[in-house]
A = this chain, B = another copy of it.
Amino acid sequence: MRHEDRLDQYVRSVDEALETYIPAVPMLPQARLIEAMQYSLFAGGKRIRPVILLEFCRVSGGDWETALPFACALEMIHTYSLIHDDLPCMDDDTMRRGRPCSHVMFGEATALLAGDALLTAAFETMLDPGVSPSLDPDRVRRAAHVIAAGAGAYGMAGGQQLDIEGGKPGADPLNEAIGVHSLKTGAMMAAAAQAGCILGGATETQCAHAVSFAKALGIAFQIRDDILDVEGDSDELGKTAGKDAAQGKLTFVPLKGMEECKALVASMTSGAIGFLPAFAGDAAAGEISFLTWLANEMMNRSL
Protein backbone atom coordinates (compact mmCIF):
# COMPACT_ATOMS: atom_id res chain seq x y z
CA MET A 1 0.00 0.00 0.00
CA ARG A 2 1.29 3.48 -0.81
CA HIS A 3 2.07 5.58 2.26
CA GLU A 4 -0.33 8.32 1.13
CA ASP A 5 -3.13 5.76 0.86
CA ARG A 6 -2.42 4.33 4.29
CA LEU A 7 -2.49 7.82 5.78
CA ASP A 8 -5.81 8.54 4.03
CA GLN A 9 -7.25 5.26 5.28
CA TYR A 10 -6.24 6.01 8.89
CA VAL A 11 -7.55 9.58 8.82
CA ARG A 12 -10.83 8.57 7.19
CA SER A 13 -11.33 5.72 9.65
CA VAL A 14 -10.68 8.02 12.61
CA ASP A 15 -13.12 10.61 11.27
CA GLU A 16 -15.81 8.00 10.72
CA ALA A 17 -15.28 6.43 14.13
CA LEU A 18 -15.38 9.84 15.84
CA GLU A 19 -18.79 10.45 14.31
CA THR A 20 -20.12 7.24 15.82
CA TYR A 21 -18.58 7.95 19.25
CA ILE A 22 -19.76 11.58 19.43
CA PRO A 23 -23.00 11.55 17.43
CA ALA A 24 -25.32 14.52 17.01
CA VAL A 25 -28.27 14.28 19.39
CA PRO A 26 -30.44 17.29 18.52
CA MET A 27 -33.35 16.14 20.70
CA LEU A 28 -31.38 16.00 23.95
CA PRO A 29 -31.75 19.03 26.26
CA GLN A 30 -27.94 19.39 26.39
CA ALA A 31 -27.69 19.29 22.56
CA ARG A 32 -25.71 22.53 22.51
CA LEU A 33 -22.91 21.01 24.57
CA ILE A 34 -22.60 18.12 22.13
CA GLU A 35 -22.76 20.52 19.20
CA ALA A 36 -19.80 22.40 20.72
CA MET A 37 -17.88 19.14 21.16
CA GLN A 38 -18.48 18.28 17.49
CA TYR A 39 -17.65 21.78 16.27
CA SER A 40 -14.07 21.53 17.53
CA LEU A 41 -13.63 17.82 16.89
CA PHE A 42 -14.54 18.11 13.22
CA ALA A 43 -12.52 21.21 12.41
CA GLY A 44 -10.01 19.64 10.06
CA GLY A 45 -7.36 18.43 12.50
CA LYS A 46 -4.43 16.52 11.01
CA ARG A 47 -5.07 13.51 13.31
CA ILE A 48 -1.33 13.01 13.81
CA ARG A 49 -1.58 11.43 17.26
CA PRO A 50 -4.25 8.92 16.15
CA VAL A 51 -2.18 7.97 13.09
CA ILE A 52 0.91 7.34 15.24
CA LEU A 53 -1.10 5.12 17.58
CA LEU A 54 -2.70 3.12 14.78
CA GLU A 55 0.58 2.56 12.96
CA PHE A 56 2.45 1.46 16.09
CA CYS A 57 -0.37 -0.98 16.78
CA ARG A 58 -0.05 -2.35 13.26
CA VAL A 59 3.75 -2.66 13.20
CA SER A 60 3.60 -4.33 16.63
CA GLY A 61 1.50 -7.07 15.08
CA GLY A 62 -1.96 -5.86 16.13
CA ASP A 63 -5.15 -5.19 14.17
CA TRP A 64 -5.22 -1.39 13.87
CA GLU A 65 -8.99 -1.27 13.49
CA THR A 66 -9.46 -2.59 17.05
CA ALA A 67 -7.35 0.37 18.24
CA LEU A 68 -9.66 3.01 16.73
CA PRO A 69 -11.36 3.87 20.08
CA PHE A 70 -7.92 4.73 21.46
CA ALA A 71 -6.90 6.70 18.37
CA CYS A 72 -10.13 8.70 18.63
CA ALA A 73 -9.61 9.23 22.35
CA LEU A 74 -6.26 10.89 21.59
CA GLU A 75 -7.99 13.28 19.23
CA MET A 76 -10.68 14.08 21.81
CA ILE A 77 -7.97 14.87 24.38
CA HIS A 78 -6.00 16.96 21.87
CA THR A 79 -9.18 18.86 20.95
CA TYR A 80 -10.12 19.50 24.59
CA SER A 81 -6.63 20.92 25.18
CA LEU A 82 -6.98 23.31 22.23
CA ILE A 83 -10.42 24.52 23.39
CA HIS A 84 -9.15 25.23 26.90
CA ASP A 85 -5.85 26.76 25.67
CA ASP A 86 -7.78 29.24 23.52
CA LEU A 87 -9.98 30.50 26.40
CA PRO A 88 -9.64 34.15 27.43
CA CYS A 89 -8.02 33.22 30.76
CA MET A 90 -5.34 31.20 28.90
CA ASP A 91 -3.99 32.25 25.48
CA ASP A 92 -7.07 34.34 24.63
CA ASP A 93 -7.19 33.33 20.97
CA THR A 94 -10.10 33.97 18.64
CA MET A 95 -9.24 31.84 15.59
CA ARG A 96 -8.29 28.16 15.39
CA ARG A 97 -7.98 26.06 12.26
CA GLY A 98 -9.42 28.91 10.21
CA ARG A 99 -12.62 29.22 12.24
CA PRO A 100 -13.71 31.13 15.32
CA CYS A 101 -12.61 29.43 18.56
CA SER A 102 -15.17 27.48 20.56
CA HIS A 103 -15.65 30.22 23.15
CA VAL A 104 -16.26 32.77 20.39
CA MET A 105 -18.95 30.53 18.87
CA PHE A 106 -20.57 29.10 21.99
CA GLY A 107 -19.55 31.36 24.88
CA GLU A 108 -16.95 30.65 27.52
CA ALA A 109 -19.06 28.47 29.79
CA THR A 110 -20.11 26.06 27.05
CA ALA A 111 -16.57 25.98 25.61
CA LEU A 112 -15.18 25.12 29.03
CA LEU A 113 -17.73 22.32 29.41
CA ALA A 114 -17.16 21.06 25.86
CA GLY A 115 -13.48 20.64 26.72
CA ASP A 116 -14.32 18.87 29.98
CA ALA A 117 -16.81 16.61 28.21
CA LEU A 118 -14.35 15.72 25.42
CA LEU A 119 -11.69 14.76 27.95
CA THR A 120 -14.24 12.59 29.72
CA ALA A 121 -15.52 11.12 26.45
CA ALA A 122 -11.99 10.01 25.63
CA PHE A 123 -12.01 7.65 28.60
CA GLU A 124 -15.62 6.62 28.06
CA THR A 125 -14.69 5.63 24.50
CA MET A 126 -11.54 3.72 25.39
CA LEU A 127 -13.15 1.84 28.27
CA ASP A 128 -16.50 1.00 26.68
CA PRO A 129 -16.72 -2.80 26.81
CA GLY A 130 -19.03 -2.70 23.80
CA VAL A 131 -16.64 -0.81 21.53
CA SER A 132 -13.77 -3.27 21.21
CA PRO A 133 -14.93 -6.47 22.88
CA SER A 134 -12.08 -8.42 21.28
CA LEU A 135 -9.38 -6.40 23.05
CA ASP A 136 -7.78 -7.94 26.12
CA PRO A 137 -9.01 -5.94 29.18
CA ASP A 138 -5.52 -5.81 30.65
CA ARG A 139 -4.15 -4.18 27.48
CA VAL A 140 -7.11 -1.79 27.50
CA ARG A 141 -6.33 -0.84 31.06
CA ARG A 142 -2.61 -0.31 30.40
CA ALA A 143 -3.10 1.63 27.16
CA ALA A 144 -5.74 3.91 28.70
CA HIS A 145 -3.51 4.42 31.73
CA VAL A 146 -0.59 5.51 29.56
CA ILE A 147 -2.85 8.01 27.79
CA ALA A 148 -4.19 9.38 31.10
CA ALA A 149 -0.64 9.80 32.39
CA GLY A 150 0.42 11.58 29.18
CA ALA A 151 -2.46 14.04 29.49
CA GLY A 152 -2.20 14.84 33.20
CA ALA A 153 -0.21 16.98 35.61
CA TYR A 154 3.03 15.15 34.82
CA GLY A 155 2.36 15.38 31.08
CA MET A 156 0.38 17.73 28.85
CA ALA A 157 -1.48 19.65 31.60
CA GLY A 158 1.83 20.15 33.44
CA GLY A 159 3.36 21.49 30.23
CA GLN A 160 0.52 23.94 29.79
CA GLN A 161 1.05 25.16 33.35
CA LEU A 162 4.73 25.85 32.56
CA ASP A 163 3.68 27.56 29.34
CA ILE A 164 1.37 30.02 31.14
CA GLU A 165 3.97 30.68 33.82
CA GLY A 166 6.57 31.55 31.14
CA GLY A 167 10.32 31.61 31.67
CA LYS A 168 11.67 31.65 35.22
CA PRO A 169 14.51 33.98 36.27
CA GLY A 170 17.92 32.37 36.13
CA ALA A 171 16.88 29.34 34.09
CA ASP A 172 18.42 28.49 30.73
CA PRO A 173 15.73 29.43 28.17
CA LEU A 174 16.50 26.68 25.63
CA ASN A 175 16.37 24.00 28.32
CA GLU A 176 13.16 25.52 29.60
CA ALA A 177 11.58 25.57 26.14
CA ILE A 178 12.50 21.94 25.60
CA GLY A 179 11.11 21.11 29.06
CA VAL A 180 7.78 22.82 28.36
CA HIS A 181 7.29 21.22 24.96
CA SER A 182 8.46 17.77 26.08
CA LEU A 183 5.42 17.85 28.35
CA LYS A 184 3.00 19.93 26.29
CA THR A 185 3.50 18.15 22.96
CA GLY A 186 5.92 15.28 23.55
CA ALA A 187 4.01 13.56 26.34
CA MET A 188 0.91 12.89 24.23
CA MET A 189 2.97 11.90 21.17
CA ALA A 190 4.83 9.43 23.39
CA ALA A 191 1.57 8.19 24.90
CA ALA A 192 0.18 7.64 21.38
CA ALA A 193 3.19 5.54 20.41
CA GLN A 194 3.24 3.59 23.67
CA ALA A 195 -0.49 2.89 23.71
CA GLY A 196 -0.30 1.67 20.11
CA CYS A 197 2.52 -0.69 21.08
CA ILE A 198 0.60 -2.01 24.10
CA LEU A 199 -2.54 -2.64 22.06
CA GLY A 200 -0.57 -4.33 19.28
CA GLY A 201 1.42 -6.55 21.62
CA ALA A 202 4.90 -5.05 21.14
CA THR A 203 7.81 -6.16 23.30
CA GLU A 204 9.02 -3.88 26.08
CA THR A 205 12.10 -3.04 24.03
CA GLN A 206 9.95 -2.03 21.09
CA CYS A 207 7.78 0.11 23.42
CA ALA A 208 10.85 1.94 24.69
CA HIS A 209 12.04 2.66 21.14
CA ALA A 210 8.59 3.85 20.09
CA VAL A 211 8.49 6.25 23.03
CA SER A 212 11.95 7.63 22.17
CA PHE A 213 10.90 8.08 18.54
CA ALA A 214 7.75 9.96 19.55
CA LYS A 215 9.45 12.21 22.11
CA ALA A 216 12.07 13.35 19.59
CA LEU A 217 9.37 13.79 16.96
CA GLY A 218 7.31 15.87 19.39
CA ILE A 219 10.18 18.32 19.95
CA ALA A 220 10.89 18.55 16.21
CA PHE A 221 7.17 19.10 15.61
CA GLN A 222 7.02 21.92 18.15
CA ILE A 223 10.10 23.70 16.76
CA ARG A 224 8.55 23.40 13.31
CA ASP A 225 5.38 24.99 14.75
CA ASP A 226 7.42 27.91 16.06
CA ILE A 227 9.08 28.35 12.67
CA LEU A 228 5.66 28.42 11.01
CA ASP A 229 4.42 30.89 13.63
CA VAL A 230 7.18 33.27 12.52
CA GLU A 231 7.27 32.57 8.77
CA GLY A 232 3.67 31.57 8.23
CA ASP A 233 0.68 33.42 6.98
CA SER A 234 -2.35 33.70 9.31
CA ASP A 235 -4.79 32.74 6.55
CA GLU A 236 -2.86 29.64 5.63
CA LEU A 237 -2.19 28.64 9.25
CA GLY A 238 -5.80 29.21 10.27
CA LYS A 239 -4.64 30.97 13.42
CA THR A 240 -2.96 34.24 14.31
CA ALA A 241 0.67 34.10 13.10
CA GLY A 242 3.31 35.65 15.36
CA LYS A 243 1.04 35.38 18.39
CA ASP A 244 3.25 33.06 20.45
CA ALA A 245 6.26 35.32 20.18
CA ALA A 246 4.12 38.40 20.91
CA GLN A 247 2.78 36.78 24.09
CA GLY A 248 6.29 36.17 25.41
CA LYS A 249 5.92 32.38 25.20
CA LEU A 250 8.99 30.18 25.39
CA THR A 251 9.52 29.68 21.67
CA PHE A 252 12.58 28.38 19.91
CA VAL A 253 13.13 30.84 17.06
CA PRO A 254 14.02 33.91 19.15
CA LEU A 255 16.33 31.73 21.25
CA LYS A 256 18.30 30.01 18.53
CA GLY A 257 17.59 31.87 15.30
CA MET A 258 15.77 30.57 12.26
CA GLU A 259 18.63 28.67 10.65
CA GLU A 260 19.61 26.79 13.77
CA CYS A 261 15.95 25.92 14.41
CA LYS A 262 15.61 24.45 10.92
CA ALA A 263 18.76 22.41 11.52
CA LEU A 264 17.35 21.26 14.88
CA VAL A 265 14.12 20.08 13.23
CA ALA A 266 16.10 18.06 10.69
CA SER A 267 18.43 16.50 13.25
CA MET A 268 15.68 15.70 15.78
CA THR A 269 13.66 14.09 12.99
CA SER A 270 16.51 11.92 11.78
CA GLY A 271 17.31 11.07 15.40
CA ALA A 272 13.69 9.98 15.85
CA ILE A 273 13.79 7.84 12.72
CA GLY A 274 16.88 6.12 14.13
CA PHE A 275 14.68 4.33 16.70
CA LEU A 276 12.44 2.71 14.09
CA PRO A 277 14.51 -0.34 13.13
CA ALA A 278 13.28 -1.90 16.41
CA PHE A 279 10.16 -2.62 14.38
CA ALA A 280 11.57 -5.14 11.94
CA GLY A 281 9.48 -5.94 8.93
CA ASP A 282 7.97 -2.48 9.01
CA ALA A 283 9.15 -1.97 5.41
CA ALA A 284 10.48 -4.21 2.69
CA ALA A 285 14.23 -4.03 2.00
CA GLY A 286 15.15 -0.87 0.13
CA GLU A 287 11.87 0.88 0.99
CA ILE A 288 11.29 3.46 3.66
CA SER A 289 8.69 2.64 6.31
CA PHE A 290 5.43 4.51 6.76
CA LEU A 291 6.64 6.04 10.03
CA THR A 292 9.85 7.26 8.41
CA TRP A 293 7.84 8.78 5.58
CA LEU A 294 5.36 10.32 8.05
CA ALA A 295 8.12 11.87 10.18
CA ASN A 296 9.63 13.48 7.08
CA GLU A 297 6.23 14.68 5.88
CA MET A 298 5.51 16.26 9.26
CA MET A 299 8.77 18.18 9.17
CA ASN A 300 8.23 19.51 5.67
CA ARG A 301 4.67 20.63 6.30
CA SER A 302 3.65 24.22 5.83
CA LEU A 303 0.53 23.88 8.03
Measured CB to CB, the residues of A under 8 A from B are 28-30, 32-34, 37, 80, 84, 87-90, 107-110, 112-113, 115-117, 119-121, 123-124, 127-129, 136-138, 140-142, 144-145, 148-149, 151-154, 157-162, 164-165, 168, 179, 183
Contacts and interface: CB of A to CB of B under 8 A. Distances in A.
Contact of A117 (B34, B37, B107, B157): B157
A89 B109 contact: yes
Given A87-B112, A110-B164, A120 B32 contact: no
B153 A34 contact: yes
This chain: copies in complex: 2
30 contacts: A29-B179, A30-B153, A30-B158, A30-B159, A30-B161, A30-B162, A32-B161, A33-B158, A84-B112, A84-B113, A88-B89, A89-B108, A89-B109, A110-B164, A116-B116, A116-B119, A116-B157, A120-B148, A120-B152, A121-B153, A123-B144, A123-B145, A123-B148, A127-B145, A129-B141, A129-B145, A137-B138, A137-B140, A141-B141, A144-B144
A80 B107 CA distance: 20
A124 B142 contact: no
Nearest to A30: B158
B120 A151 contact: yes
A102 to B, nearest CB: 12
B137 A124 contact: no
Contact of A113 (B110, B117, B149, B157): B157
A109 B92 CA distance: 11
Contacts of A129: 138, 141-142, 145
A145 B124 CA distance: 5
Given A113-B157, A115-B116, 17 more contacts: A28-B154, A28-B158, A30-B183, A32-B165, A33-B158, A37-B153, A87-B89, A112-B112, A113-B161, A113-B164, A116-B119, A119-B119, A120-B148, A121-B153, A137-B140, A137-B141, A141-B141
A82 B115 CA distance: 15
A140 to B, nearest CB: 6
A149 B110 CA distance: 19
Contacts of A141: 127, 129, 137, 140-141
A147 to B, nearest CB: 8
